[in-house]
Structure 1
Amino acid sequence: MTAVDWLLDSDPAIRWQAMRDLTDADEASVAAERARIADEGWGARLLALQDADGQWAGGTYFPPVTREPENQPWTATAFTLQLLRQFGIDPDDERVGAAVGLVRENSRWEYDGSRFFDGEVEPCINGMTVAIGAYFGEDVSALVDRLLTESLDDGGWNCEAEFGSARSSFNSTISVLEGLLQYETSVGASAEITASRERAHEYLLDRHLMRRLTTGEIVNDHWLEFSFPVRWHYDVLRGLEYLRAAGVKPDERLAEPIQLVESKRGADGRWLLENTHQGAVHFELEQGDGRPSRWNTLRALRVLDWYHAG
């Protein structure tokens, strides 16, 4: 079985993306496969776990501590919606629309009680919120405007800026970039948003997606390990996936990160899951670290296709 065949023998959330990005399947077949996400597999399971009030696990970003006092809140509403977006669930599906409508009406950020699609205070969280809102057809334009004013001098963003940090963070920057790109894809491009994204592209590229600009050192060794779901964490494959989705033309600054991706391909043509971010989950998507990962294989294959197409 080839790596692509292995991806096609999977959940609809992976299968439709493999069909679209790695095969010559026609648009109607891809759309039909995508429509299955809300009916079966992981997407349907997540939808069924929504509480009657529209939240997941009883919280927007943090489930009640009485339920999960020691764990990261990967079961909360924000991370569940992030996952549904990454699955590519059809936002026009009636059940999906109803689920998002309940979030709009009832979900509030624990920080200050703001409504979900009005956002929070940190750009890393607001970047995720913009991506979710734009994908599901919610008005997040005010949040986009806010993010554009919060770009730092080096081109990126940092959740610690409110405490005086003047240097951008990879974690914050990738979240905002994904949100702004989704907004332009779903709502429409603007010169201001595009210019802001392009400045942030240079922030990432000048650092080869992994290194300090000042010393050339690797910022974080965990960024060389590929995870899924990514949650709020940056890694090199996530950076490459964004640049591919944004249609950035590859240049020599990507040679090192691409070499990293290619070095991790197994003899069977598959990539491993390497760095699962620990915390409570609704259910497992893969078999654990050190085992072949369909998500990482899908993402790595399409990144390499994009890079080698030039």
Structure 2
Amino acid sequence: MDLIPWLLDSDPALRWQVERDLAGAPPEVWEATRARVATEGFGARLLALQDPDGQWAGGAFFPKGYQGGEGQPWTATTWTLNSLREWGLDAAVLRGTAELLAENSRWEYDDLPYWGGEVDCCINSWTLSNGLWLGVDMTGLADWFVEHRLPDGGWNCEWVEGSKRSSIHSTLNSLKGLLDHEVATGGTDATREARRSGEEYLLERGLLRRVTTGERITERAGRFTYPMRWFCDALNATDHFRRADRRDDRMAEAIDLVRAARQPDGTWLQTPRDPGEVWFEVDVPPGEPSRWLTFFGTRVLAWWDAA
């Protein structure tokens, strides 16, 4: 199967990335496609759902009035900003949003102000990335990760409950925010060292295995979904190391899992996603070939095999 035409037949949020990273299109082509994220398809639909106070669904991490239920809702401000940022929306389109959120949005945890973050490592990492993208001074939250790194080199969102051991999920998400900080600002000696130690934490585990027993930490290691959300699977983890351009033989097993999930026609299949309310679907149902996963999988393997 010639994957490129199939991948290019997609929403601008994906198409521009395929043009840039797989099709070898010149900047003037993929930049023009990227600009369409604000006016067409998924990006335009999410932008139209923004509340007058700058939020989405009336809440920071959960929709306004959320009382619990089956599955995490994926509609509130943080999740929506994550999508728009990852899809490549020009931050200028959201001019004024950072100020509105500073004024109007508070975390459900202890009513803390939005750009200061809260206690959850994953939430703080996404807030760090989103703030940097929107031009907020995020120095304090970047330093928070240095201060809250655990002795084994990583992070755990349950540190506030007394956990002393890092989590692969919390660590991967923390690393993404620190890498965004480094790309945007150059980082500091402390934040760069924290990122390296977090990456070592994952690499010592082959990204996916316990140090103590060698067992896989999660049975979902080789099953991939889009949107990726918060979960550390082989594709999500190796894509971070691709972005950081850090090849290491210790991630070879994770790469093998990515390769094994590729179908004979070169595609990757969507697997069951975590339940929860969404604004609208952005990928295919479970069992069908996913353009998003095929893009990520193809890009990761091209990076790895180029070495």
Q: TM-score range by the shorter chain?
A: over 0.9
Q: Give how far 1:187 is off.
A: 2.0
Q: Indicate whether 1:274 and 2:247 are aligned.
A: no
Asked if structure 1 preserves the Cα contact closer than 8 Å seen for 2:119 and 2:160, the reply is no
Match of 1:82 in 2: 82
Question: Larger deviation: 69-78 or 38-47?
Answer: 69-78
Rounded Cα–Cα distance in structure 2 between residues aligned with 1:125 and 1:20 = 29
Match of 1:14 in 2: 14
Question: Larger deviation: 42-51 or 64-73?
Answer: 64-73
Asked if structure 2 preserves the Cα contact closer than 8 Å seen for 1:47 and 1:99, the reply is no
**What's the Cα RMSD here?**
1.6
Q: Indicate whether 1:137 and 2:146 are aligned.
A: no
Match of 1:196 in 2: 194
Match of 1:163 in 2: 161
Inter-CA distance 29–160: structure 2 relative to 1 (3 Å threshold): same
Match of 2:254 in 1: 257
Q: Which of the numbers 208, 211, 225 marks the counterpart of 1:227?
A: 225
Q: Give how far 1:171 is off.
A: 1.3
Rounded Cα–Cα distance in structure 2 between residues aligned with 1:80 and 1:67 = 20
Q: Give how far 1:223 is off.
A: 2.6
**1:101-116 to 2 correspondences below 5 Å:** 101-116=99-114
Q: Indicate whether 1:246 and 2:244 are aligned.
A: yes
Q: Give how far 1:244 is off.
A: 0.6
- TM-score, normalised relative to structure 2: 0.95
Whichever residue aligns with residue 235 of structure 1, its letter is D
Whichever residue aligns with residue 16 of structure 1, its letter is W
Whichever residue aligns with residue 201 of structure 1, its letter is E
Whichever residue aligns with residue 296 of structure 2, its letter is R
Q: Number of paired residues? A: 307
Residues 38-97 of structure 1 show CA distances to partners (whole Å, capped at 9, x for unaligned) of 110100100001111111111111113468744412001111111111111112x3x322
Indicate the SS of the match to 1:224.
coil
Match of 2:149 in 1: 151
Asked if structure 1 preserves the Cα contact closer than 8 Å seen for 2:223 and 2:261, the reply is no
Q: Which of the numbers 181, 184, 190 marks the counterpart of 2:182?
A: 184
Asked if structure 1 preserves the Cα contact closer than 8 Å seen for 2:98 and 2:131, the reply is no
Aligned-pair identity (%): 47
Whichever residue aligns with residue 230 of structure 2, its letter is W
Rounded Cα–Cα distance in structure 2 between residues aligned with 1:138 and 1:128 = 13
Question: Larger deviation: 72-81 or 182-191?
Answer: 182-191
Residues 218-251 of structure 1 show CA distances to partners (whole Å, capped at 9, x for unaligned) of 1110232111112222211111111111111x23
Rounded Cα–Cα distance in structure 1 between residues aligned with 2:295 and 2:184 = 23
Asked if structure 2 preserves the Cα contact closer than 8 Å seen for 1:135 and 1:183, the reply is no
Q: Give how far 1:201 is off.
A: 1.0
Residues 188-234 of structure 1 show CA distances to partners (whole Å, capped at 9, x for unaligned) of 23222221111111111111111101100011102321111122222
Match of 1:98 in 2: 96
Match of 1:283 in 2: 280
Match of 2:116 in 1: 118
* Structure 1 segments of 4+ aligned residues over 6 angstroms from their partners: none
Which runs of 5 or more structure 1 residues have no equivalent in the other structure? none
Whichever residue aligns with residue 237 of structure 2, its letter is G
Asked if structure 1 preserves the Cα contact closer than 8 Å seen for 2:234 and 2:255, the reply is no
Inter-CA distance 70–254: structure 2 relative to 1 (3 Å threshold): closer
Q: Give how far 1:172 is off.
A: 0.8
Match of 1:57 in 2: 57
Which runs of 5 or more structure 2 residues have no equivalent in the other structure? none
Q: Which of the numbers 276, 293, 304 marks the counterpart of 1:296?
A: 293
Indicate the SS of the match to 1:223.
coil
Rounded Cα–Cα distance in structure 1 between residues aligned with 2:195 and 2:68 = 36
Whichever residue aligns with residue 9 of structure 2, its letter is D
Inter-CA distance 70–260: structure 2 relative to 1 (3 Å threshold): closer
Question: Larger deviation: 223-232 or 100-109?
Answer: 100-109
